[in-house]
Structure 1
Amino acid sequence: MKKFILFALILVLLIIPLGSRAEPKTSELDVLYSIMDDLGGDVREEDLVFNGIILDKFIGQDEMEDLGETIKSQLNLVGIEVDPFIEGDYNEDYYTKEVIFEEDFNQICYIGKDKDENHIAIIINSFTDQEELIGDTYLYINVIKYGDFSEKNDIIEEVKTIYSNYNCKVEITSCLIGEISSNIDYNKMEEEIKKALAKVRANIIEEFSDGNLISYTVHTPYIKEHIKIGKDRTNLNLAIRQSDLDGKIYIWLGTPIITVGY
């Protein structure tokens, strides 16, 4: 069941139909940071998900082990390798490695950090349809960054280079998670959100509010890629919730969708 859920999630993200238009060239993260700033939010977490089919064939255990070690080294995961199912107190950096090797499905999963404290998950899936005699190998990389977002960080380019080496298209979802520390009244947030969205020429596709959660699904020409929801194109998702525990207002911004729980 575990392997099926992981594979299904990756497959869904990979087959989302994407498109583009000749619109202003702006980084997706630049757009998200702009909206976050307009709403008075302080970024606490940056979450990036990369997906791509790197090989149009099924690979066996030895080849997958070699591929996993290569990618792990390219992303500079630090520390010793430990078993994720064995609890222990470690006095040094470590990463976990989990494997599944079966007749028609292989998977390796690494979870750890690099020298810049980026939290990284690497999942390689390879499957084959023995009846159709076809197979594919997928590479999923999740990078989460905390802390000082003004610091130079080359991890995004490092990840893109890996996919480029396989001459494959990579789909990227980006998400910012922040906290609104200004004195904006939660009940007036919808007005502030619409002002921020207007600055990026956003067309509102769907909006929702129930007193505890505010959510907008929109399309902006300042983000190149988009997905289709029915006949509508969308490429930006925004959600704001006020915590019952501390009263703070938290904000999630994702493109083309929010891929983390809120």
Structure 2
Amino acid sequence: MTGKLAIVVGCDDDDESTTVFATSPAGWADLPPTRWPTVACLVTDDSLVNVGVNGQLQRVPWAGGEIVVTELPGTPALPLRVQGARRVGGRFYVCGLFRQVFASPDAVVWTAMNDGLAAGPDEELTGLSNVAGHGATLVAVGVHGTVFRTDGGPWRRVPAGVRAWLKDVARHVGAYWICGKGGVLLVGDAADDAGSAGFSRVATGTMADLRSLRTFREDLYVLGDRVLLRVEGTSVVPVPTPGPPVAIDVCDEAMWMVADASTDSGPEQRRLFVSADGRTFTRHE
């Protein structure tokens, strides 16, 4: 295995427990526990950065050595509650409630990039769940159908056509895909100019909350509550899994999934599964 990845399991608004599965070329690692729930992980060339719900950053070197804990530069007047984190191109981004976005070239030094995100006097303040991008463009999504776009200047609001809590966004085959609560899946250009095609709703056949998007082997996958879907053109198909899926992540060689799987000795337990093609999964021993 040449890739590095981390899978976060069990952190939600009402769930303070967190498990992080992490692997590198040296194999699977036992990560030290944190005193706060981990929301997401950022994979850099030399370390894994666990991002905490209140902006904590735990930097774990892949090669071993000192583990360093720092925090994002929040302010008492604008507390941070992280919702998502992602690497886009060569930069790292963290976003959260109160429309906050932080950017970093190395996941060490962070700066706020909130120009254009502040709510007007009569506007509902919404939070951001995650970001995606291509080139100089970034798209952020969040609560109440919130979509923002920046091309290097101030963020601009983009109509989404829905009011659902949008949980994730991904760039795939020249378009932006967005998933959210209530089985919402959107595809479009995320443009805010006149004449834009905007977003189209994609039928998913489920009312499950869809919360994560990952690209593997040139296919886009949508993880929801106890369901995994694969995008085929402008439609989706369910992916059979050995148990209800809880979390997924991908590296160059494989898709990894944590699922609830029944055992001979008792009730369901969470197990780690691996797939080389994104269609069939085997248990990782």
- Shorter chain as normaliser: what TM range? under 0.3
Bigger RCO of structures 1 and 2 (CA < 8 A, at least 6 apart): 1
Q: State which structure, 1 or 2, has the greater radius of gyration over its C-alpha atoms.
A: 1
Greater helix share, 1 or 2? Answer: 1
Greater strand share, 1 or 2? Answer: 2
Normalising by structure 2, report the TM-score.
Answer: 0.21
